[in-house]
Homo-oligomer: A and B are copies of this chain.
Amino acid sequence: MIRVQREDFDPGAEIAALTAGRHDIGGVVSFVGLVRDRVEGGRVGAMTLEHYPGMTEKQLAEIDAEANRRWPLAASLIVHRYGRLEPGDRIVLVVTASPHRDAAFDACRFLIDWLKTKAPFWKLEETAAGGQWVEARDSDDRAARQWESAAGKPDAAE
């Protein structure tokens, strides 16, 4: 499941809803991304997250489907916000549930890594010098590339 929204979300409520009434889930892994007040070398105030309505939903749904192809998930959820966000605010939530924890951990990490390089969002930071578009990070590209092999896991983590 995926959702793109301006409003905040409640990670605990989302986790509870995803697992409610299910007795076949052994582990639930969640990732919450938050706005930091400093990035490489400077402090930032708020930011505005722009996105491409339509393409965002399509890309997130494809990433979610890919995770479900690669791992035996009982449930998965991506929630991504857009609009103006302040330091400490939640940006993104990824939740994966599986009978065994390995699949839940791997799938959750895959989803956030892929989302970071595929979902059409752009951060405009409010700095003392005015608005500044955040540049994509090489480390995010590297993180995403390690999942490019067709198999579930990127390396010998088994």
Contacts and interface: CB of A to CB of B under 8 A. Distances in A.
A13 B11 CA distance: 9
B31 A88 contact: no
Interface residues of A, number: 42
A35 to B, nearest CB: 8
Contact of A25 (B23, B29, B34, B146): B34
**A interface majority secondary structure:** mixed
Given A12-B16, A28-B34, A31-B105, 12 more contacts: A11-B15, A12-B12, A12-B13, A15-B30, A15-B32, A19-B88, A21-B88, A23-B38, A23-B87, A26-B34, A30-B30, A156-B156
A20 B145 CA distance: 33
